[in-house]
Amino acid sequence: MTRELKGKPVAKALLEKAEQTVEDLKKIDCNPTLAIVRVGDDQSSISYENAAIKTMNKAGIRVEPVVFEATAKRSEVMTAIEALNQNSEVHGILVMQPLPDTLSRNDVARCLNPNKDIDGLTPENLGRVVEDDSTTLVPSTPRAVMALLEYYGISVEGKDVCVIGSSPVVGKPLSIMLLNEEATVSNVHIKTKDIRRYTCDADIVISATGAVELVRAEHIKAGAVVIDVGFGYKNGKPVGDIKYDEVFEKAGAVTPVPGGVGSITTAVLAEQVAQAAWNQCAD
């Protein structure tokens, strides 16, 4: 029987852990604080920001919004980030994406203090992922995937895992994190000639492309674990990378959209703000 891997219980467990760390920090007069930097009024960013604020409030984390018009100068945004880097009362910084064309994600990532980079954007933190440093701040979506697998007792050690998508914020770091857990990883992408060559042999298939219903039953073997990291709309309804009903009949376990990986990411952010604050305050 196919298992549905829901994200809500995973998020609950992560949030409870964050809440306990926040309580311990407040006992030593440290009030964990997250600065959320948003440039422009992209509706998906605003929605995610609101969800993050709600989660931070549950965890007892203070939030400081820093909002710019889409026309803000690059120097203005960078100066604000530098000020947050230097502010000892701010323990984590989250830069909302997408950014306007006037701002480079790489430039913003290089500007962030790695110790406050709770979404794992900086080259330093990505390098620590490669080094398998368990204390580093990692990209939130890959961390959410790993947390989901751990919560449901799905070991990746020695398994064949296929990751679809090679973005620097999901596909690439996730592939490395899986390798760190001794999985055998295939990372396929838009230029791959035949993704089925890789997905059909995989014990675990993780799709993170945003291509609506890309993965169908023909792409997986019977009993595979299928993790959907994508998000889009079809006929006005939210859907993921996976054609859910079709894949559900063949897979051993599958995540829904909505209600799967996406529902875990804000809890991961809270966990990482608490960790960053602990690293900064408990020395």
For residue 56, which phi and psi values (nearest 5 degrees)? -60, -40
Domains and CATH numbers, the chain: 30-115 (3.40.50.10860), 140-261 (3.40.50.720)
Q: What is the pLDDT of residue 224?
A: 98
In eight-state DSSP terms, residue 26 is: H
Q: What is the pLDDT of residue 55?
A: 97
For 80-91, the pLDDT digits (tens) are 999 999 999 999
Q: What is the DSSP letter of 49?
A: H
pLDDT for the residue numbered 69: 95
The model's pTM is: 0.95
- Reduced to 3 states, what is the DSSP secondary structure of residue 108? helix
At residue 194, what is the residue type? D
Position 102 scores a pLDDT of 87
pLDDT at res. 190: 86
Cβ–Cβ < 8 Å for 266, 94: no
- The rounded distance, in Å, linking the Cα atoms of 14 and 198 is 32
- In the three-class reduction of DSSP (H, G, I as helix; E, B as strand; rest coil), residue 94 is classed as strand
User: What was the pLDDT predicted at 283?
Assistant: 67
Which positions of the chain have pLDDT values less than 50? Answer: none
Give the per-residue pLDDT at 28: 95
